[in-house]
Structure 1
Amino acid sequence: MEPFIVSARKYRPQTFKDVVGQSAITNTLENAIENNHLAQALLFCGPRGVGKTSCARILAKQINSDGTENQDEDFAFNIFELDAASNNSVDDIRSLIDQVRIPPQVGKYKVYIIDEVHMLSQSAFNAFLKTLEEPPKHAIFILATTEKHKIIPTILSRCQIFDFKRITVTDAANYLKYIAENQGIEADDDALHIIAQKADGAMRDALSIFDRVVSFSGKQLTRKAVTENLNVLDYDTYFKATDLILQHDIPSLLILFNKTLAKGFDGHHFIAGLASHFRDLMVCQHQETIPLLEVGQEAKKRYAEQARKTSHSFLLKGLDIANEADLKYKTSRNQRLLVELAVMKLASINFDGEKKNPESVALQNTTVDFIAPASFYKNRKATIEPVVPTLKNTSDTTPNSSENKTENITIETQPHIKTEEVSSVATNEIVSETTHTDISETTETQIKIPVKKIDIKSPAKRVSGLSISSLRAKKAHELNKKEDFVDESQLPKTPFSEAEMQKHWADFVEILDNNGRKILASNLHSDVPKLKNETTIWIELPNGTMKKEIEREQYDLMNYLKEKLNNHFVSLHITVNEETAKKFAFTPEEKYEKLREKNPAIDVLRKEFDLDL
């Protein structure tokens, strides 16, 4: 029985053409070898399992080949591999430098491949600098790392850098298909795509997963076998969940989520996968973005079929809800409830992306399109005639009736809407401001108010703000609008004395103090107001903050003074004098000096008892 060799070793690339998904780098290296334009130090950086070490070995082999050697020749004597993770000291680098001086016995070049070079210590990097910059003509260094940012800049500046990219799902799936055909394994495209997605851009991981799944399922590789072995949620779960969301079937959706949890998956996995499913559906809605869908052909058909059932706005709203739940999952105390709430929100979205509103659904097909708010009548209390509102049928109204002199607001109720519900909204204010009268339920309510007639059965037609009719209406409104001009000669201008003004000022401060507005009262009390001319009141404050406070609140003060003094032309002028601040705030030293001026014996007291400020 032959020993088993894992696919990652068995199918390791032997030439640049075998390298998957790195065509830009392999073409560059081939041209550099052909044109003798190869740098003395190369840095291969990128994620794990994308072909860095493989490319380094292929490069080392090709630069020593002259076409006369054996095909199986690997030039093992010319290739030196150093694992910097375990050989990261200065002594290891010095030993390497000593070997570099010796020319190769076979071939032209000695190639030194240093893997995980970012693990070298700082002193080892510094010891390596000079040799890396000016190596012998027969030496080429190839450094490989997964974390380029950990390498010091002086090393980076001496290397030609090649950034390896993650291998795409399509490239990985195609290579897995090639391997499956070589091994005589029947594999579904969807199964290979799931393996490629699980590998997350690393070909070595994809080959390891492939070996594991083949060991589980044998020569028949199906999507079901792959999902069971890898413990990933199948597409079917998300297709079914989306169908239930579109049907607004919340109970079945919650049961599906519970079954998913019973299989060992957590809620975070479910909601994140559902968001990705919505993203894939959105990608399928446009022909240009279909290549972004990295799934098999059968899955693409199912995605396209379900994408036709959904709208763009629905998917956007669904993505927003699912993404919000995804972000809040780790910080939530009740994670299952969070996902269930998100699922119920998703099932409550209409196809146009709007959430269902039970009130709007209940009021569909009704003729009540507008109900005047209570504030509409509040603003017109003065225009309501002192007449008790009457409720009567239209059959009792005659054309010659004297009650028809004023226009009426007619509120017509429908059979399925209770009259008291409408009347409570439209007539509550009027009934409370007139007399309390028993109002019986009828089919039509008439309230006498001399206002413009509003027919709520047929709402006004909405027009654009830029239409000709709206511009005409606006112009007519401006022409009809009359501004109220006040004749200043008719306003009171009674002369008053400074004593009267100060008395009313003090009264206002006392009112503020009684009402709890202590700060404003204190600011107004900080200086005695003076009358500079007949109507201007002057007050001096110690700082600008107090001035701003009074200016902000001076409206009530001036109205009070104007009313009490019977003079509409009273004004207030506020000045700031910083020196007056010392009248109100003394330091401990200043207080002590004041006391000593009044009684010098206080010094004796302080010295006798050894007091301090």
Structure 2
Amino acid sequence: MDNFIVSARKYRPATFDTVVGQQHITVTLKNAIKNNQLAQAFLFCGPRGVGKTTCARILAKTINCEHLRDDVEACGECDSCKSFQNGNSFSIHELDAASNNSVDDIRNLIDQVRIPPQTGKYKIYIIDEVHMLSQQAFNAFLKTLEEPPSYAIFILATTEKHKILPTILSRCQIFDFNRIKVADMANHLASIAEKEGISHDADGLHMIAQKADGGLRDALSMFDQIVSFSNKQVTYQAVIDNLNILDYEYYFRLTDAILKEDASSALLILDEILAHGFEGSHFIGGLSSHFRDLLVAKEPATLKLLDTSDTIRQRYLQQSTEVSSGVLLSALNIANQCEINYRTSKNQRLQVELALLKMCHLAAAIQLAKNGVTTFPEREAAEKKKPHEPVGGEADQQPTSAATTQMPAREPVVQTPPATQATPDPPSPVPDHRSPITHHRSPVPDPQPRSWGQVKLGNIIPDLNKVFEERQEVAEADEPELLSGEAREPFNHDQLLKEWHAVADKLKAENKINLFTLMTANAPQLLADFKVGVTVENPIQQDLLNLSKIDILNELRVKLRNFTIDLVPIEVANDVVRKPYTAQEKYQAMVAKNPALDVLRKTFNLGLE
């Protein structure tokens, strides 16, 4: 029984023309040999398994070939080529820097460089994994690398170019190897399968090439594994069974369930996937890639970005016509958020299921936004209970103030539920002399329910926030007087205190303790032109007030119906004893009471926290 040779060794390229996917490098090297413009040092860098060491060996063999062919390839028949192929060449030396990385190893190499080649024109040194050399070894190698003998050529190979000293990089011609394309790898695997008499299909070979992630050596190793597993029948099903790859079919079925808004089917498909041993993070990442491929397939210009076989590409083209770009973008956003939350979640399966449920409701939510529907059954039920309640509620029955007695009488604005077009009440005999909020505009729903509906839908579909922002701009256009700051309903100090403490209690419930302390430590002062004075005891409180000013004003202006309210910081007078706030201030106050505390701190060299 003959010894088995793996495909990565058996079909290792022996000439420049047989190198896969690195034409930009092979053409450059062949032209350098043809024009006799060889550098003294080359650096081949790139990912694993893309042909760095292979190209270095081909270059070394071609340089010393005694009968170079017209296409600048080694003949493979001269004594130099045969000795290299047999592994006993005296002119070509390979050094593994991973195991020979000391200064002594480099010094031995330098001593060998001084000896001219016995056969061939050049003495070539291939140093693999050169980034593993120590700092001292690099320094010892510098002088020889910069000024080697005319017959010496160094070829360095590495997967981590950033670990090599800049002084080494500046002395080499650098060649960056690319990841090998999926199509090139699939074609190379197909040619090997034909030579070996192995049955195969294009989908299976494409799946192996995608799994290899640009490394041909990895692809050949997986190819040998599949051949053994499937008894020389490399099929798509054999590949996904052996390499633990999630089948495309799951993603296509799941997308169909999302389009049909069939949440139960989506959850059952997820359960089937998890039952096969796949992780939820693996599934959600693959689903994101599937949505990305559907987006790519929607445009002919980007179709070339789809790295799949022709059969799978046709399925992508078909399904991309059934789903809109808006749904795909929203689903991608939901999947991306799920991936972020997945790592830190205690119930990881629930995160994936919640993402699928959101995706199943995408189409309906987008349609609601297009139709301009922002109400929900809960809101309609609440409105049916009070179909004729005025916007202002009980505030409409309050007596008028002297500042607004000259305004014309207007009937109360009546809100009608969308489901039942109720007739408005007849004009009230009590004139409404409130603020200009209700003047010169047609009846509109209360803005508070609108924002409530917006937030609820936004929680379900985060990607529709932009749609609701546009609808909010339309709603704001219906209330020019409210948003332009013309509402100036007067209020007294008691009303201010009531709403001020209500806002403070809300901030406390949101765990904003520092801001709550600032608002409740001193009572606010009602100044002229509806300005509210807030006492600040130190710069830290003043910065906190400036940061939170907008949020406080948004609450006060709406509740007091006055959009000219502004907050003004009032600093504590110098003669007023100020409460210590920072750690330094508290320490100074304690030292003032007991000076021995400062002696204790200095004695033991203590600090403040």
Instruction: Give the shorter-chain TM-score range.
Output: 0.5 to 0.7
Q: How does 1:186-335 map to 2 (within 5 A)?
A: 186-335=199-348
**Counterpart AA for 1:174:** N
Residue among 81, 99, 103 paired with 2:116: 103
Would the aligned equivalents of 2:32 and 2:38 in 1 still touch at CA under 8 Å? Answer: yes
Distance 1:444 1:482 in 2: 25
> What's the counterpart of residue 376 of structure 1?
392
Would the aligned equivalents of 1:43 and 1:161 in 2 still touch at CA under 8 Å? Answer: yes
Instruction: Tell me how far 1:178 sits from its aligned partner.
Output: 1.9
Other structure's SS at 2:21 match = coil
> What's the counterpart of residue 336 of structure 1?
349
Q: How does 1:89-488 map to 2 (within 5 A)?
A: 89-350=102-363, 353=366, 360=375, 362=377, 374-378=390-394, 380-381=396-397, 446=426, 448=428
- Alpha carbons of 1:355 and 1:94: their partners in 2 closer, same or farther (altered >3 Å)? farther
**Counterpart AA for 2:270:** F
Distance 2:414 2:571 in 1: 60
- Alpha carbons of 1:466 and 1:318: their partners in 2 closer, same or farther (altered >3 Å)? closer
- Alpha carbons of 1:518 and 1:190: their partners in 2 closer, same or farther (altered >3 Å)? closer
- Alpha carbons of 1:517 and 1:155: their partners in 2 closer, same or farther (altered >3 Å)? closer
Other structure's SS at 2:392 match = helix
What per-residue deviation string (whole Å, max 9, x for no partner) do you get for residues 214-240 of structure 1? 112234322111111111001001000
Other structure's SS at 1:212 match = helix
What per-residue deviation string (whole Å, max 9, x for no partner) do you get for residues 484-520 of structure 1? 9xxxxxxxxxxxxxxxxxxxxxxxxxxxxxxx99965
Instruction: Tell me how far 1:90 sits from its aligned partner.
Output: 1.3
Instruction: Tell me how far 1:275 sits from its aligned partner.
Output: 0.6
> What's the counterpart of residue 71 of structure 1?
76
Distance 1:296 1:235 in 2: 12
> What's the counterpart of residue 50 of structure 1?
50
What per-residue deviation string (whole Å, max 9, x for no partner) do you get for residues 61-83 of structure 1? 11112327862424332210011
Instruction: Tell me how far 1:358 sits from its aligned partner.
Output: 11
- Alpha carbons of 1:591 and 1:412: their partners in 2 closer, same or farther (altered >3 Å)? closer
Would the aligned equivalents of 2:411 and 2:427 in 1 still touch at CA under 8 Å? Answer: no
> In terms of mean alpha carbon deviation, does 25-34 or 184-193 score higher?
184-193
Distance 1:251 1:518 in 2: 52
> What's the counterpart of residue 59 of structure 2?
59
Would the aligned equivalents of 1:311 and 1:351 in 2 still touch at CA under 8 Å? Answer: no
Distance 1:329 1:544 in 2: 43
**Counterpart AA for 1:4:** F
Other structure's SS at 1:142 match = strand
Instruction: Tell me how far 1:27 sits from its aligned partner.
Output: 1.2
- Alpha carbons of 1:21 and 1:407: their partners in 2 closer, same or farther (altered >3 Å)? same
What per-residue deviation string (whole Å, max 9, x for no partner) do you get for residues 314-367 of structure 1? 00000000011112211111111111111111111116746899984759999x
- Alpha carbons of 1:517 and 1:195: their partners in 2 closer, same or farther (altered >3 Å)? closer
* Number of matched pairs: 465
Tell me, which stretches of 5 or more residues in structure 1 are unaligned? 385-404, 423-442, 458-463, 485-515, 525-542, 553-573, 594-613
Would the aligned equivalents of 1:412 and 1:445 in 2 still touch at CA under 8 Å? Answer: no
What per-residue deviation string (whole Å, max 9, x for no partner) do you get for residues 174-200 of structure 1? 211222222233322211111011001
> What's the counterpart of residue 551 of structure 2?
none
**Counterpart AA for 1:240:** R
Other structure's SS at 1:338 match = helix
Instruction: Tell me how far 1:146 sits from its aligned partner.
Output: 0.6
Instruction: Tell me how far 1:246 sits from its aligned partner.
Output: 0.9
- Alpha carbons of 1:332 and 1:483: their partners in 2 closer, same or farther (altered >3 Å)? closer
Would the aligned equivalents of 2:199 and 2:232 in 1 still touch at CA under 8 Å? Answer: yes
What per-residue deviation string (whole Å, max 9, x for no partner) do you get for residues 268-299 of structure 1? 11111001000000000111100000000000
Would the aligned equivalents of 1:311 and 1:353 in 2 still touch at CA under 8 Å? Answer: no
Other structure's SS at 1:113 match = strand
Distance 1:303 1:140 in 2: 51
Other structure's SS at 1:350 match = helix
Distance 2:286 2:177 in 1: 28
Would the aligned equivalents of 1:409 and 1:447 in 2 still touch at CA under 8 Å? Answer: no
Distance 2:224 2:540 in 1: 81
> In terms of mean alpha carbon deviation, does 372-381 or 40-49 score higher?
372-381
Instruction: Tell me how far 1:17 sits from its aligned partner.
Output: 1.3
Would the aligned equivalents of 2:327 and 2:362 in 1 still touch at CA under 8 Å? Answer: yes
Instruction: Tell me how far 1:34 sits from its aligned partner.
Output: 1.1
Distance 1:353 1:335 in 2: 27
Other structure's SS at 2:362 match = coil
**Counterpart AA for 2:8:** A
What per-residue deviation string (whole Å, max 9, x for no partner) do you get for residues 438-472 of structure 1? xxxxx985462657896789xxxxxx9999xx99x
Other structure's SS at 1:166 match = coil
- Alpha carbons of 1:133 and 1:371: their partners in 2 closer, same or farther (altered >3 Å)? farther
Q: How does 1:579-594 map to 2 (within 5 A)?
A: none
> What's the counterpart of residue 41 of structure 1?
41
> What's the counterpart of residue 499 of structure 2?
none
> What's the counterpart of residue 88 of structure 1?
101
Would the aligned equivalents of 2:8 and 2:220 in 1 still touch at CA under 8 Å? Answer: yes
- Alpha carbons of 1:382 and 1:56: their partners in 2 closer, same or farther (altered >3 Å)? same
- Alpha carbons of 1:352 and 1:78: their partners in 2 closer, same or farther (altered >3 Å)? farther
Distance 2:336 2:235 in 1: 31
**Counterpart AA for 2:174:** I
**Counterpart AA for 1:244:** A
Instruction: Tell me how far 1:576 sits from its aligned partner.
Output: 10
Would the aligned equivalents of 1:188 and 1:222 in 2 still touch at CA under 8 Å? Answer: yes
Would the aligned equivalents of 2:390 and 2:414 in 1 still touch at CA under 8 Å? Answer: no
- Alpha carbons of 1:222 and 1:355: their partners in 2 closer, same or farther (altered >3 Å)? farther
Instruction: Tell me how far 1:379 sits from its aligned partner.
Output: 5.3
> What's the counterpart of residue 528 of structure 1?
none
**Counterpart AA for 2:335:** A
Would the aligned equivalents of 1:282 and 1:315 in 2 still touch at CA under 8 Å? Answer: yes
- Alpha carbons of 1:375 and 1:187: their partners in 2 closer, same or farther (altered >3 Å)? same
Would the aligned equivalents of 2:181 and 2:214 in 1 still touch at CA under 8 Å? Answer: yes
Distance 2:225 2:591 in 1: 86
Would the aligned equivalents of 1:20 and 1:171 in 2 still touch at CA under 8 Å? Answer: yes
Would the aligned equivalents of 1:114 and 1:144 in 2 still touch at CA under 8 Å? Answer: yes
- Alpha carbons of 1:580 and 1:28: their partners in 2 closer, same or farther (altered >3 Å)? same
**Counterpart AA for 2:61:** K
Quick check: which has more Rg, 1 or 2? 1
Other structure's SS at 1:310 match = coil
Other structure's SS at 1:77 match = coil
Tell me how large the CA RMSD over aligned residues is: 4.8
Distance 1:7 1:575 in 2: 81
> What's the counterpart of residue 28 of structure 1?
28
Distance 1:247 1:134 in 2: 71
> In terms of mean alpha carbon deviation, does 36-45 or 174-183 score higher?
174-183
Distance 1:547 1:234 in 2: 59
Would the aligned equivalents of 2:387 and 2:417 in 1 still touch at CA under 8 Å? Answer: no
